[in-house]
Amino acid sequence: MTQDSTLPLARRYDTALLDLDGVVYRGADAVPHAVSALLEAAEMGMHLAYVTNNASRTPDAVAEHLVALGLPATPQDVVTAAQAVARMIAEAVPAGAKVLMVGGEGLRVALEERGLVPVTSADDAPAAAVQGYRPDTSWAELAEIAYAVQRGVPWFAANTDLTMPTARGIAPGNGALVTAVAKACPGQWPQVAGKPEIALHRETMLRTKAERPLVVGDRLDTDIEGANRAGVDSLLVLTGVTTREQAEAADGPHRATYVADDLRALLKPQA
């Protein structure tokens, strides 16, 4: 594709790999200007792919949410950390193995699609243990993961985002729950699929076949670092957890190619 810097980003890149929480929506509500900007970017020829570290919902549920907001989306347009971590686990354990799971419907469906059997107790002889975000996760569920890890069961996590933006403010993310388990298992840390690790990017490239992607996110330590690790350009939008001061001070793996207030930046040339 042409890299004429006078063109809008939506014409310079063939695919937007869009984070969701804090970029497209906060909770149930769309981020201001997100829907209209993405519709116009799609009209310019940019393919919209939705890539999320949040493993709680299925691609079908995410696509329904996006359509309800007014965006064109199918389940095939959505790539989740649940899908990425399920692939990782399936490559590490025998076919049909039991997996101790703490997480939402999205993680359960992703595991079952890989032929794995979700279980709820460390006493069920799981071949692996995995954590994904679910807002009503209980102490008892975290304890089961800890018991399994203490017994030597391989531990995986969909993502380790410490926080996540919601309609009411910034809330603890899956990384906070993973850290709680790690405190009970000194010296242990899970294999992680989500951004900035490479597993979710691998899953995304396999599913979208993007040739000139632009990663769009709101977090320096996941979206932007992940893009830099993958050698992909990135746009940081200031509608989630990162402030302009933090973005401008970032360097090395946390420095974005572009920084903008919101997704309307896709419709304009950017320095």
Q: Which residues are catalytic, by number?
A: 19, 21
Q: End-to-end CA distance of the chain, in Å? A: 18
Residue holding tokens 């001061």? 245
- Enumerate the known binding-site residues for Mg(2+): 19, 21, 218
Distance CA 188, CA 183 (A): 9
Nearest-angstrom CA–CA distance, 108 and 176: 20
Binding-site annotation, residues for substrate: 195
Decide if 224 contacts 23 (C-beta within 8 A).
no
Contact in structure between 242 and 219 (CB atoms under 8 Å): yes
Question: Which residue positions form the known binding site?
Answer: 19, 21, 195, 218
CA 199/CA 20 separation, integer angstroms: 18
Beta strands in 221-268 (DSSP E): 233-237, 258-260
